[in-house]
Structure 1
Amino acid sequence: MNKILLLEDDEALALGIEFTLKDEGYDVTRCACVQDAIKAFNKEEFNIVLLDVMLPDGSGYDVCKHIREKSEVPIIFLTACDDEVNVVLGLDIGGDDYITKPFRVRELISRIKAIQRRFEKKSVRENIFKCGDIVLYTENAKVEKNGIEIVLSSQEYKLLLIFMTNPNKIMSREEILDKLIEGAGSYFDTNTLSVYIKRVREKIEHDSSSPEYIITKRGLGYIWNSEVQKG
């Protein structure tokens, strides 16, 4: 099911959008302020984001900037300001489209579907994953930290990809191993996994003895912390 994050402080409008989107089969998370939207985005993965611009505690532009540090998810601005300056600003900071209020909800759904079609045409190879200072390009299996390429072995790269595509989710050692050896025809035990995690930490963490990205959950496994901010 496609998941949509909706940030809109006009409750009547938000309820109308939410009702129609759910009727179309979308799973909607509705927020009315910037902080709640950022928390929701950091907690879950969404297929598309709808952002109102003027909000009680800030601007949808702030949420867009936060999202673009981590993800290339499609973003549509919902705005009452259709002047060129506001439109250009929204697109320049990473928005994919905008729709001017008042609008018909069916028009919004058409815009959503059009953007989804464009993004679906991109192959998985073109995906870019961002978190803090780390950027991973699946097109060429390239990883950068602060804009400088990090050299990873194939298994280190695959391990990092597993973590970055499963943000804020506790994964057991067994689950990580299953993903790591899938289709590889290789055998790893938990000790080998510990070595790979140690190597990846040494390459991506500011201080591998006090990791920010790959967090150990004692007795449970590991979790990728997607809330790391740029240093």
Structure 2
Amino acid sequence: MSRILIVEDEESFSDPLSYLLGKEGFEVEVVDNGLDAITEFDRNGADLVLLDLQLPGLSGTEVCRQLRQRSSVPVIMLTAKDSEIDKVVGLELGADDYVTKPYSSRELVARVRAVLRRQGEPEELISATVQAGPVRMDIERHVVSVDGEQVLLPLKEFELLEMLLRNSGRVLTRGQLIDRVWGSDYVGDTKTLDVHVKRLRGKIEPDPSAPRYLVTVRGLGYKFEP
């Protein structure tokens, strides 16, 4: 699992980005200033750094310079500035890419994957495909197959199955699944989740009435047994 360090002082950007990257299968750490970024990198490292240019205290350009003294870790710079000079300075300091706010989170995730690929990271580590038991998911093409046979899933069923497969063998509570698939602002009960689980079982289980893979853990939630 690739580890992404987000260095961003605006929660309105860091929170949704951290959520989406976590959902895409990355391990994510967020810090909100340059000094903490250097400390965190020195302590735990990272496979890629998303670095805001305008940080309190130590600037993003200085953080990039110090990172380059320590490592060849890929750096994507994030900034509200759109001047060519800022872009050139960031790239000259060793940034691998440059994204101007406001950006599409989906596009940024695609940039992250592209930079990691250029670094030669194996495809399985960046989770373009997920497989457990007889189920295989191609995330980028939105294709699911069971024992080699393609099955069609609506978006929420696809996202739910992806979450379960990425955490194969682990129990996920109903709250965790609802938060990741429907969002933390979801208003409703768990029946919506249970209905989607029932529909998924009908598409991936040999016998949906006696689930072998997508199993209920009484009092907790669900897990995917590979």
TM bucket (normalised to shorter chain) is: 0.5 to 0.7
Task: Provide the residue aligned with 1:82 in structure 2.
Answer: 82
Counterparts in 2 of 1:6 and 1:121: CA distance versus 1, 3 Å: closer
- CA deviation vs aligned residue, 1:144-173 (integer Å, no higher than 9, x gap): xxxxxxxxxxxxxxxxxxxxxxxxxxxxxx
Question: How far off is 1:13 after superposition?
Answer: 1.2
CA distance in 2, matches of 1:92, 1:29: 26
- CA deviation vs aligned residue, 1:60-92 (integer Å, no higher than 9, x gap): 111111110111010000011111100000000
2:33 is aligned with 1:25: no
Consecutive unaligned residues in structure 2, runs of 5 or more: 123-226
* DSSP 3-state at the match of 2:120: helix
Question: How far off is 1:58 after superposition?
Answer: 2.7
Judge which range, 54-63 or 22-31, deviates more: 54-63
Task: Provide the residue aligned with 2:174 in structure 1.
Answer: none
Task: Provide the residue aligned with 2:53 in structure 1.
Answer: 53
CA distance in 2, matches of 1:53, 1:59: 6
* DSSP 3-state at the match of 2:77: strand
CA distance in 2, matches of 1:107, 1:10: 19
2:94 is aligned with 1:94: yes
1:32 partner letter: D
- CA deviation vs aligned residue, 1:110-149 (integer Å, no higher than 9, x gap): 1001111111179xxxxxxxxxxxxxxxxxxxxxxxxxxx
Give the TM-score, by structure 2 length.
0.53
Task: Provide the residue aligned with 1:115 in structure 2.
Answer: 115
Equivalences for residues 35-50 of structure 1 within 5 A: 35-50=35-50
2:51 partner letter: L
CA distance in 1, matches of 2:92, 2:56: 23
Task: Provide the residue aligned with 1:10 in structure 2.
Answer: 10
CA distance in 1, matches of 2:82, 2:100: 6
1:39 partner letter: T
Give the TM-score, by structure 1 length.
0.51
CA distance in 1, matches of 2:41, 2:121: 24
Task: Provide the residue aligned with 1:225 in structure 2.
Answer: none
CA distance in 2, matches of 1:27, 1:79: 22
Q: CA RMSD in A?
A: 1.3
* DSSP 3-state at the match of 1:102: coil
Equivalences for residues 1-231 of structure 1 within 5 A: 1-120=1-120
Question: How far off is 1:52 after superposition?
Answer: 0.3
Consecutive unaligned residues in structure 1, runs of 5 or more: 123-231
